[in-house]
């Protein structure tokens, strides 16, 4: 990058006569030269601009109206076929997210770590007391600070709960899946079949014209879902919400649209557009799935037991999905216990749970409320 530097300015003096003035005055004549500035300064400027984008997004998210006061012009007026959504999806958000990821991996000078991270802590309300390592100089990059570990004991897992929260975040929506439609927020739905894809992860699929019935193991059960939104200030790891066995992973390359509540209210089928890794399996009540959904600046989804998952790769086809099987003749899959570490995001995104359970399942955290990893989420009455 280049800049005009006063240090390299040549100052020439020449006499100039002014009408009505006595004598001559010396007026400086400036000749400017272009000089290089460090690339790190350019990266810092990009970082500043990107932080501005994140801050603005979170301010809109915090100020978005509640479900009972939703103004006109939301999901019912801005559907996925609208030109605004097409233009939004055409933005190079995947490329921007890759650049943001590279920026996050640049090592920050030790002298700048504490000031930089304190700005982030102040902007997004991070609780550093919950971090396993509270010395800010320890985190070499922004990415390492985003993915900081929790201090042991600060998130006790409710062992008696049927289902616990997989992460810190905000409950966008939870409830029963009706007519094969899932609510991403109240009043805005998307097809379950588009989110999960063909029921090919089961060797003994139940014969039915209804997609939800083919997913379930027990026809007397219901399908439920829960959407947890992770903000940039939240703890970025996600965990197993119950005891279950993971048998298959399905990777859907796609867009990296924002998953904030404001956008979720306006873009129907948002989670079907975005890149996501869906993990299918079984638990005590039948079918169980947990999906990690990517978002703007969150192209990196890391799952600890899945070393072959690579997200936000350039030129991947977005009209296909890619399966990885974890079950074989020796073992039925990967056993997970409640609270086990599952994976992490690079900044903040969304976890979607879709599972089968008996009728009358009760969710303990209402929509719009904050929740912590390990907190009781649901139980059977």
Instruction: Give the least confident one: 47-51, 169-173, 314-318.
Output: 47-51
Task: Summarize the confidence of residues 139-159 as an average pLDDT.
Answer: 91
Residue-wise pLDDT tens digits, 47-76: 445 545 544 544 444 444 333 333 333 334
Greater confidence (54 vs 286) lies with: 286
Greater confidence (378 vs 347) lies with: 378
Residue-wise pLDDT tens digits, 17-31: 444 444 444 444 545
Task: Summarize the confidence of residues 328-339 as an average pLDDT.
Answer: 91
The dihedral formed by the CA atoms of 169, 172, 176 and 178, expressed in degrees to the nearest 10: -140
What strand order describes the sheet that includes 301-303? 237-239, 341-345, 301-303
For residue 135, give both structure tokens: 């010395």
Positive or negative: CA dihedral 165, 304, 251, 222: negative
Parallel, antiparallel or unpaired: strands 244-252 and 237-239: unpaired
Model pLDDT, residue 58: 44
Q: List the catalytic residue out of 64, 165, 300, 349.
A: 349
Clarify whether 61 is annotated catalytic. no
Model pLDDT, residue 299: 61
Greater confidence (210 vs 280) lies with: 280
Q: List the catalytic residue out of 225, 239, 251, 285.
A: 239
Residue-wise pLDDT tens digits, 349-376: 899 999 999 998 999 998 889 999 999 9
What is the chain's mean pLDDT, rounded?
A: 80
For residue 169, count CB atoms less than 10 angstroms from its CB and return exposed for 0-12, middle for 13-18, buried for 19 or more.
buried
Instruction: Give the least confident one: 36-50, 122-136, 285-299.
Output: 36-50
Q: Is the pLDDT of residue 216 over 90?
A: yes
Model pLDDT, residue 328: 84
Residue-wise pLDDT tens digits, 222-240: 999 999 999 888 999 999 9
Q: 89-99 burial, b for 16+ CB within 10 Å, e for fewer?
A: eeeebbebbbb
Q: CA angle at residue 176 from 267 to 301, to 5 degrees?
A: 55
Task: Summarize the confidence of residues 199-203 as an average pLDDT.
Answer: 76
Clarify whether 210 is annotated catalytic. no
Model pLDDT, residue 323: 94
**Residues paired with 29 in a beta bridge:** 12
Model pLDDT, residue 97: 81
CB atoms near residue 255 (< 10 Å): 20
126 DSSP 8-state letter: -
Distance CA 281, CA 356 (A): 11
Count how many Cα atoms sit within 13 Å of the Cα of residue 334 in the half-sphere of its side chain: 17
Model pLDDT, residue 351: 95
Decide if 233 contacts 289 (C-beta within 8 A): no
Q: Is the pLDDT of residue 14 over 80?
A: no
Q: Is the pLDDT of residue 165 over 50?
A: yes
Q: List the catalytic residue out of 61, 64, 168, 236.
A: 168
Clarify whether 25 is annotated catalytic. no
Model pLDDT, residue 39: 47
> Taking Cα atoms as reference points, which of 188, 363, 340 lies closest to residue 279?
340
Distance CA 375, CA 288 (A): 19
Decide if 258 contacts 150 (C-beta within 8 A): no
């Amino acid at each position: 990058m280049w800049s005009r530097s006063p240090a390299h300015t040549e100052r020439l003096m020449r006499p100039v006569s002014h009408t009505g003035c006595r004598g001559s005055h010396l007026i400086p004549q400036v000749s400017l030269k272009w000089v290089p500035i460090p690339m790190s300064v350019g990266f810092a400027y990009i970082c500043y601009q990107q932080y501005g984008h994140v801050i603005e997004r979170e301010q809109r998210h915090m100020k978005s109206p509640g479900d009972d006061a939703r103004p006109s012009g939301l999901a019912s007026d801005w559907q996925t076929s609208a030109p605004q959504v097409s233009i939004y999806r055409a933005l190079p958000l995947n490329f921007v997210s890759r650049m943001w990821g590279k920026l996050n991996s640049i090592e920050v000078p030790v002298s700048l770590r504490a000031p930089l991270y304190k700005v982030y802590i102040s902007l997004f309300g991070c609780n550093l007391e919950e971090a396993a390592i509270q010395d800010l100089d320890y985190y070499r990059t922004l990415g390492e600070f985003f993915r900081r570990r929790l201090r042991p004991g600060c998130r006790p897992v409710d062992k008696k709960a049927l289902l616990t929260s997989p992460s810190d975040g905000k409950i966008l929506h939870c409830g029963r899946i009706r007519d094969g439609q899932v609510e991403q927020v109240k009043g805005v739905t998307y097809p379950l079949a588009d989110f999960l894809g063909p029921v090919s992860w089961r060797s003994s699929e139940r014969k039915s014209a209804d997609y939800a019935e083919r997913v379930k193991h027990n026809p007397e059960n219901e399908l439920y879902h829960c959407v947890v939104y992770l903000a940039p200030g939240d703890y970025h790891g996600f965990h197993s919400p119950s005891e279950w066995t993971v048998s298959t992973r399905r990777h859907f390359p796609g867009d990296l649209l924002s998953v904030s509540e404001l956008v979720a209210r306006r873009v129907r089928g948002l989670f079907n557009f975005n890149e996501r890794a869906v993990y299918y399996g079984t638990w005590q009540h039948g079918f169980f799935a947990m999906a990690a959904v990517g978002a703007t600046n969150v192209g990196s989804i890391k799952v600890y037991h899945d070393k072959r998952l690579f997200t936000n790769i350039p030129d991947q086809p977005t009209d296909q999905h890619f399966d990885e099987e974890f079950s074989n003749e020796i073992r039925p899959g990967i056993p997970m216990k409640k609270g086990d570490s599952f994976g992490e995001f690079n900044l903040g995104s969304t976890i979607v749970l879709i599972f089968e359970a008996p009728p009358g399942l009760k969710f303990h955290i209402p929509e719009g409320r904050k929740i912590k990893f390990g907190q009781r989420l649901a139980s059977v009455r």
